[in-house]
Structure 1
Amino acid sequence: MRFPGHGRPHPADIVIGPLDLSAHVDEALAVQAVAFGLGADEIAVRRQIVLRHMAYPGARALGATTAGRLVGFVYGMPNDRTHWWSTVVEPYLRARGHDDWLDNSFVITELHVHPSYQNRGVGRGLITAITDTAVEPRSILSAIDTDSPARGLYHSLGYRDLARQVLFPSAPKPYAVMGAPLPLLRR
């Protein structure tokens, strides 16, 4: 069995497929909590955000499962300049001449893989599978602005930095906004 989007074999029979994120929000947020180091209060806030996002037109999610257990997920939607994320990043993108990336783009809202399954191609499989179904010609996302495996993955897929040192209210660390033409690069 293979991950969608590249030729590496599935580790431990991981299957990537559609995820009813509204029905599995608690399971997904448990993965995010471990992967991102979130506490119960942060998860409670994010739960409401995820449920609201999944009601947006075009929002969709994929999950990575093994033995019936969710070990990773991704969700996103067509970007809308009126959404909170866009209103925060727009001034940073405009200052660098990249605010056009907010139009006609598919935004990766969240991508998380349980630490026990990281560095095995699960994140790559999730993000390529969800963007391969996008009708938009490009994708945007934000990631903590540090030299991390996540940013390394995004760069390897063709994402480039559009704005750095982006500050989100209540986020303790700055973020980078990244964009890539679709389809994403393959190895």
Structure 2
Amino acid sequence: MRTVATDAEPTPYLVDLSARELRRRLPEALAIYVEAMGYPQGTEYHRAPMWSEHVLRPGWCAVGAVLPTPDSPLVAVAYGYRGARHQWWHQQVRDGLRRSGADDEYVDSVLSDYFELTELHVSPRAQGHGLGRALTRRLLRDRPERTVLLSTPEVENENNRAWRLYRSLGFGDVLRDFTFAGDRRPFAVLGHALPFEMDEPPNR
């Protein structure tokens, strides 16, 4: 699938990234992450070991978008893996759901069989042209899990590209205004049933 990045640049194309390839491109991928999330320079050095460890988790897969030029620069990246009880994100969301008043049966149903869409980032110079949607479709095709879950920072009136993307794809609320340990910003946890049918109407 091809999408237009800008009038001045060639059209990026999607590629499946092996663990080896992501490790090789880790500086590029983390630079996109830091820029897209608005984090301070240097954040990438703290995140690199985590991203490197994630590739070892069961069910891990990744997709990137590159420009068809001699050096094939990466302009977008997405990855995820099968969620499990021992993982930090799983434990954080479980605690958040319980604190929100959810009973154990509901919590177990949410977290029993899911794919965690861990990272989805598009370089600001390539945003607004469908790459996020294309990456999501590619990453979630043929996943065996029952649901996909992700977290995204809360913004007023859900008014940014990430929220518009997730709502247009039909992601619904699982947990709102949740603060992860080590981050002061409130986050939302969103979910969607699998298999991921792109033609179904959005939730809202």
TM-score normalized by the length of structure 1:
0.90
Of 91, 112, 131 in structure 2, the residue corresponding to residue 103 of structure 1 is 112
Which residue is 1:156 aligned to? 168
**Contact between 1:76 and 1:107, CA under 8 Å: does it hold in 2?**
yes
Any residues of structure 2 matched to 1:135-150 within 5 Å, and which? 135-146=144-155, 147=158, 148-150=160-162
Shift, 1:81, TM fit: 1.7
Partner of residue 74 from structure 1, selected from 47, 72, 78: 78
Which region of structure 1 is more displaced relative to structure 2, 132-141 or 113-122? 132-141
Q: CA RMSD in A?
A: 1.6
Distance in 2 between residues matched to 1:93 and 1:62, nearest whole Å: 30
Which residue of 1 is the match for residue 202 of structure 2?
Answer: none
Map 1:161-176 → 2, pairs under 5 A: 161-176=173-188
Residues 51-80 of structure 1: CA distance to partner in whole angstroms, max 9, x if unpaired?
A: 011111221111011131100000000111
CA contact 1:157–1:186 (8 Å) conserved in 2: yes
Q: What is the CA-CA distance between 1:96 and the residue it aligns to?
A: 3.4
Are the counterparts in 2 of residues 140 and 177 from structure 1 also a CA contact under 8 Å? yes
Percent identical: 31
1:21-40 equivalences in 2 (<5 Å): 21-40=22-41
Q: Unpaired segments of 5 or more residues in structure 1? A: 4-8
Q: Which amino acid aligns with 1:78?
A: R
Higher radius of gyration, 1 or 2? 2
TM, length-normalised to structure 2: 0.83
The letter of the residue matching 1:184 is F
Structure 2 distance, partners of 1:52, 1:40, is 21
